Amino acid sequence: MSDNVLDWTSAYPEKVSPSAGQARLGAFVERLAADLSGPEGGRLPFINLPHWPALKRDLAALAPRLKGFKHMLLLGIGGSALGARALQKAFAPGQDLPGHQGPWLWIADNVDSGSLMAYFTKLDPAETVVVAVSKSGGTIETASQYFLACRWLREALGDSWKDHLIMVTGEDGFFRKESARHGFTTLPVPTYMGGRYSVLSAVGLIPAAFLGIDCEALVEGALSVTKPLTETILSPKILAAHPAWELACWNWSIIDSGFTQLIFFCYVPRLATLGAWFGQLWAESLGKEGKGSMPLPAVGVTDQHSLQQMFLDGPRDKGCLFITSREEDPGTAFPDDLPAEFGFLRGKMLGELLPAEALGSRMAMTQRGIPLVEASLASCTEHECGRLMALLELSTLFTGWLLSIDPLDQPAVELGKRLAKARLGADGLAKEKADLAQFLSAQRRTTGF
């Protein structure tokens, strides 16, 4: 049983009326049951994680091999990278601190020639395992990195290069064909698991296992949140009592009341990078048909000095999900010989500063009428992080349903990908090439600066 809590005290200021989502509970219970049915968890494998037993065995078998490498170079973008980075920053933060002796995880998550060439120049191929992650295998950014990584490994290692490459991909597509051709070790992405929901699949858990993160605790934490929806005969009463449903109803209420942006304000330093992961989850799931709200990841206390002026005194269009932890890290004591103006710090510990700042920020936002829900974690462990991730995934799903959109697809993202391929001369794409020609031939209006 977890001591994590959601605090609703400031959730519904005067401008926000609670939603009428309860009237749709029956339909959503039927929808959830239908979408969970079928092999591999149906359309929602991120809820009951049916792939975990097999993946647990695969990770155990891979463990001795992974321990033979000092470096892991992860090739992936979006959901193929954001979850892994969040877990690294939270539970293997030593890489960012002085004196780290390894292992090292390097994430190539952009088309950045300088960084990629630095990896190839500075890393020892003999000590490096490359993990290429793409469910479709057709992601141009990751595929292009893969081609160059293969050359790098082949030229340095000869016939053994294939032992230094692992693929995480779907059942079909280019990467699956490459895996069969070369005999790479390959782990699957469940068929209906989109990238932004895939952190607790091989996508996020291979790098986590390499870093020594407790993958089982992450999964068990997530399942402790989702099991009430999967291990009983689901009813409207059970769904209504679930915190993810209540959070979704709040999200729907503030969107309906004109709050078109959602601040993800994280006052748990180790989980700060979770904001970027949540940003993709929320934006790609809900930004459809002119609906949704814009996620605004923010880090406490850093962004009290960069963004909070806008939060408190800008347009009244923002709600806030406020993340804290009650785990105490006292840190070091302040010295006694402080200047008079800082005398109030005498006898206090550095660890007292963060919760005081969090309280001040939360109260200030509440006083300005910002709808705010605080998610307070009992501790910052893999188990509690898994619980938080599952809560956020479920509430995103339910918010999409309340908005009458499909939170599992991302149709608009594909347009930019097709136009990029058209620009590079890919076969077909006649309409995109015609649109490009028209766009590039338009009269430009420019101003120097």
DSSP for 263-276, written as a single string:
EEEE--GGGTTHHH
Active site residues per annotation: 284, 305, 417
Cβ neighbours around 265 below 10 Å, total: 28
SS3 43: coil
Q: Where are the alpha helices (DSSP H) in 328-429?
A: 353-367, 382-402, 411-423
User: Is omega for the bond preceding 189 within 30 degrees of 0, making it cis?
Assistant: no
What does the angle CA 203 – CA 217 – CA 196 come to, to the nearest 5 degrees? 30
Q: What is each CA distance from 358 to 328, 342, 348, 400, 449, in whole angstroms?
A: 14, 19, 17, 30, 40
| DSSP-assigned beta bridge partners for residue 187 | 168
Q: By the 8 A CB rule, do 179 and 167 touch?
A: yes
User: Is omega for the bond preceding 103 within 30 degrees of 0, making it cis?
Assistant: yes
What does the angle CA 417 – CA 419 – CA 425 come to, to the nearest 5 degrees? 105
SS3 148: helix
Q: By the 8 A CB rule, do 310 and 116 touch?
A: no
Q: And the tokens for 428?
A: 């077909």
DSSP for 169-181, written as a single string:
E-SSSHHHHHHHH
Burial (CB < 10 A; 0-12, 13-18, 19+), residue 371, is buried
Q: By the 8 A CB rule, do 298 and 362 touch?
A: no
Q: Which strands sit side by side in the sheet containing 318-325, from one edge to the other?
A: 5-7, 372-377, 318-325, 261-266, 294-299
Closest CA to 376 of 10, 11, 4: 4
